Amino acid sequence: MSEFTKTPGWLDWYAGPSKPRFQVPAGAVDAHCHVFGPGAEFPYAPERKYTPCDASKHQLYALRDHLGFARNVVVQATCHGADNRAMVDALVHSGGKARGVATVKRSVTDEELQAMHDAGVRGVRFNFVKRLVDFTPKDELMEIAARIAELGWHVVIYFEAVDLPELWDFFTALPTTVVVDHMGRPDVSKPVDGPEFELFLKFMRQHPNVWSKVSCPERLSVTGPKALNGEQNAYQDVVPFARKVVTEFPDRVLWGTDWPHPNLKDHMPDDGLLVDFIPHIAPTAELQRKLLVDNPMRLYWPEEVTQKG
């Protein structure tokens, strides 16, 4: 029994997801997911902004197998702050089938970074979403970025679309590959060719080190329909945005379930139906293979990628 009480209104992850109709290519990577605790073993951080339900590594890997994925990238969730033990424990017990993205402070030692590297961590996450984290000074983040660059790691950034102009100079000064969570959270009620999303596309066009996760339609969608009850055409309002990114930058996109879907307020999607969303945004077998296999392998398991040509 955990001593933690969930945030009021918390939606637990969807039990008994359907089997996807879309069969992901062999070797597919779920490149954005989390573990929560379990709180009794890996307590949630005192500075957290929400208290989730537990979501263990065993449950994550059972979902991986059920959905037909081969590997995971486990991203440190903000409810664990800069205590990476639950995430690292998931990597260590994955049989080499999971890599991770950590959250660290300036005080992290070189030995701690090396230990995380040995466990499979390949990136750090900088979070600018105000409801999730307190502000970390940019000079501190830049110092961390310079240190992790030495290890060949990258930086994952999470921000809201309206904040991109203010963060632009910082993001474009980062010395590593930069991976944007959830397409920079576009407001999909605005036009796909409007100034807000154009700025995001310009960010990717002008900076070839910037990648994007085309994840979280369930979070971004305004009009649905929801990925529930067998719905095969879920989150139609997100499709033009994600498809635009996938087709324009096919070698710099990643996809992830975002399981266990922290902080959803409206509904909890059936993860099997979320997988069925993929062919709507990556319509060809080649785009699907790049999105689900080639790109995440190049970023997270480069030593397993055979050099071509």
Ligand X SMILES: O=C(O)c1cc(C(=O)O)oc(=O)c1
Nearer to ligand X, 73 or 287 (CB): 73
Catalytic residue among 30, 83, 258, 271: 258
Residues in the chain: 309
* 276 a catalytic residue: no
Residues 255/215, Cβ–Cβ less than 8 Å:
yes
Q: What is the DSSP letter of 137?
A: -
Identity of the amino acid at 43: P
CA neighbor of 180 nearest in space, from 239, 111, 280, 249: 249
Least distance to ligand X, CB of residue 37, Å: 13
Q: Which is nearer to ligand X, 57 or 219 (CB)?
A: 219
Burial label, 88 (beta-carbon count in 10 A; 0-12, 13-18, 19+): buried
Question: What minimum distance in Å lies between the beta carbon of 79 and ligand X?
Answer: 6
Closer to ligand X at the Cβ: 136 or 263?
263
Per-position b or e across 96-118, b if 16+ CB within 10 A of its CB: ebbbbbbbbeeebeeeebeebbe
Q: Give the shortest CB-125-to-ligand X separation in angstroms.
A: 8
Kindly list the residues in this chain that would bind ligand X in the complex (CB under 6 A): 77-79, 132, 181, 219, 258, 262-263
Contact 254, 299 (CB under 8 A): yes
Nearest approach, Cβ of residue 258 and ligand X (Å): 6
| Dist CA 15 CA 54 (whole Å) | 13
Alpha helices (H) in the chain, listed in sequence order:
57-67, 85-92, 110-119, 138-149, 164-172, 195-206, 217-220, 239-248, 271-275, 278-281, 285-289, 295-300
Neighbours of 84 (CB within 10 A): 25
Q: Nearest approach, Cβ of 263 to ligand X (angstroms)? A: 4
Among residues 99 and 219, whose Cβ is nearest to ligand X? 219
Task: Tell me the catalytic residues.
Answer: 258
